[in-house]
Amino acid sequence: MSSLILTLPLTPPGIATKYSYTLTSDGHTATDHARAAAALLPEPSRPGGEVVAMVPISALSWQRVQLPPGIPLGPNHQTPRLRSILEGLLEDRLLDDPAQLHFALQPGAEAGSPVWVAVCDRSWLRDNLQALEAAGRAVSRVVPEFAPGPTASGTTEICALGSPSEPQMILCGQGPDQSVTMLPLSAAVLALAGLTSTTDDDAPAPVVRADPAVAEVAERTLGRQVTLHTATQRALDAARGDWDLAQFELASTSRIRAMRKAGTAASALLYAPQWRAARWAAALLVGVHLVGLNLWAWQEKQALAAKQVAVRNALTTTFPQVKVVVDAPVQMERELGLLRQKAGSVSPRDLEPLMAAVGASLPDDRVPTALEFAPGELRLRGVTLAPDEESVFNTRLQAAGYSARTEDGTLLVRAEGTP
């Protein structure tokens, strides 16, 4: 999906505050990265893109608590009551006043189960989000740089970052709770964490990544090669996670969340690489349907043309005197009428058959006062029929190939097929 990923600074926002940003069109590859003031930040590269704010690992504290059973959770239930419960559970673990802190529950948290809670300074986070919104870059999601939970490799992962003078390491996927911990990068700390080369050979070696600034220090300290992992790559990884720290008073309304979610899903379907096969399949399916519809239309057109040729041939074969065919059915009916006239016969559209059909269908005591005849139809004046009599009259006429209806006080009888 198209995203603008911003790394929030550790200091409160000001006029000179600059944000590190990463632009991506598919959520996996960076198209641009730099630093800029809030007013100069670029927009997501595609419509429906989102602005994601990333909270650095040093600005977060991770706490694991056991939620009481029966507490309503979820976006629509992040109420002051739930916050009060979290404050009570974390009060003895936090150095700062819980009222000054912001809490966020892990995705899929369930009441009665252990859950991870992200904790950070509330005013710092709120001020940064408000500064970005004032600059026209309203944040859709707030994600942590690193989060507890299973890692992509399924084992403990080490990420070294910081500066050569003060290197730090982030341990992810540790222990049964799969915690995330930030520690100084040193041989002594590695030994205390049980991550030295003298550990059990049967245990899988942790995956090690390092920021380019501390890659050399990490290799020297760990005694092994490391994979380079830049701040841009960390931002892309964080934005693809499930976490959203914008909860409680910082949460968007349900309508805005739904709109953002729909826009994000649409953008992912259109541009994300994991949906490329689905997009090709959809395009192929549409193409096949278009080809099939055109082929079907061509076949129908050919069949209609063949029928039209057959009708014209029938006309010119039956009546050789017709040299120019304009409307074959009409011309054939006209020629049949001329043949009847020459033979002295009548057609169902003539006066005699119409009167005979009407006389056989009308009740015995009903006699019209006036008749009007036109080819194919007969108007009867002065005839009034009861509903049951009209039903019988119409049934008899239909059996003889005629239809009737009342029009302007007259009874109109027509031969079937008369326009």
CA 411 – CA 368 distance, rounded (Å): 9
Q: To the nearest whole percent, how much of the chain has pLDDT over 90?
A: 37
Which residues lie across from 161 on neighbouring strands?
168
Strand pairing category for 50-55 and 3-7:
parallel
Which residues lie across from 142 on neighbouring strands?
53
CA 237 – CA 227 distance, rounded (Å): 15
pLDDT tens digits for 25-59?
Answer: 888 889 999 999 999 999 886 666 789 999 999 99
Tally of helices (H runs) and strands (E runs) in the chain? 10, 17
Mean pLDDT value across residues 370-396: 84
Mean pLDDT value across residues 360-377: 82
CA 349 – CA 394 distance, rounded (Å): 17
pLDDT tens digits for 108-166?
Answer: 888 888 999 999 999 999 999 999 999 989 998 999 999 998 888 888 899 999 999 99
pLDDT band at 199 (very low <50, low <70, confident <90, very high): very low
pLDDT band at 388 (very low <50, low <70, confident <90, very high): confident
- Plot region of 358 (φ>0 → left; ψ -120 to 50 → alpha; else → beta): alpha
CA 206 – CA 199 distance, rounded (Å): 11
Token reading at 168: 């730090």
Q: What angle do CA 210, 216, 218 make, to 5 degrees?
A: 50
Nearest to 144 by CA among 50, 242, 72: 242
Q: Which helix (H) or strand (E) holds 18?
A: strand 18-24
Phi, psi of 318 (to 5 degrees): -75, -35
Token reading at 212: 């380019």
Indicate the DSSP class of residue 57: G
Give the residue carrying structure tokens 């009481």: 68
Give the residue carrying structure tokens 């979290």: 86
**Half-sphere exposure (Cβ direction) of 83: Cα atoms closer than 13 Å:** 17
Q: Check: CB of residue 118 under 8 Å from CB of residue 103.
A: yes
Would you state the pLDDT for residue 10? 92
> How far is C-alpha 394 from the chain's CA centre?
57
